[in-house]
Amino acid sequence: MTAELTEVLWKAAGKLRGSVDAAQYKDFVLGLVFLKYVSDSAGSGAFRVPDGARWADIAAGDPDTVGVRVDAAMDTVMRANPSLDGVLPLIFRDVDQRRLGELVALIGAARFGGRRARDVLGEVYEYFLEKFARAEGKRGGEFYTPPSVVKLLVEILRPFKGRVYDPCCGSGGMFVQAEKFVRSHRGRLDDIAVHGQEANERTWRLARMNLAVHEIAGDIRRADAFHADAHPGLEADFVLANPPFNMSDWYRDPADPRWSFGVPPAGNANFAWMQHIVAKLGPRGAAGVVMANGSMSSRQSAERRIRAAMVDADLVSCVVALPGQLFRSTQIPACLWFFDRDKRVRDEILFVDARGMGTMVDRTERVLTDPDIGRIADAYHSWRDRSHSDVPGFCHSAGLDEIRANDHVLTPGRYVGAAAPRTPDGEPVADRIERLTKELFAQLDESERLDHVVRDELRRLDE
pLDDT at 38 over 80: yes
Domain residue ranges of the chain, discontinuous segments joined by +: 3-136, 143-416, 426-463
Superfamily of domain 143-416: Vaccinia Virus protein VP39 (3.40.50.150)
Of 119-128, 150-159, 247-256, the poorest mean pLDDT is in 119-128
DSSP class per residue in 44-106: TSSS---TT-SHHHHHSS-GGGHHHHHHHHHHHHHHH-GGGTTTS----TTS-HHHHHHHHHH
For 269-298, what is the mean pLDDT?
Answer: 97
Percent of the chain with pLDDT over 70: 89
Q: What is the pLDDT of residues 329-338, one digit of tens each?
A: 778 889 999 9
Q: What is the pLDDT of residues 163-211, one digit of tens each?
A: 999 999 998 999 999 999 998 887 787 899 999 999 999 889 989 988 9
Q: What band does 33 get if pLDDT is binned at 50, 70 and 90? A: confident
For 207-217, what is the mean pLDDT?
Answer: 87
| CATH code 1.20.1260 for 3-136 | yes
pLDDT at 248 over 50: yes
* pLDDT reported for residue 1: 46
* pLDDT reported for residue 232: 94
For 308-319, what is the mean pLDDT?
Answer: 98
Contact between 149 and 242 under an 8 Å Cβ cutoff? The reply is yes
In 290-399, alpha helices (H): 294-297, 301-312, 370-384
For 69-75, what is the mean pLDDT?
Answer: 96
Extended beta strands in 331-403, E state: 334-340, 348-353, 359-360, 366-367, 395-399
pLDDT at 352 over 70: yes
Contact between 218 and 175 under an 8 Å Cβ cutoff? The reply is yes
pLDDT at 19 over 80: no
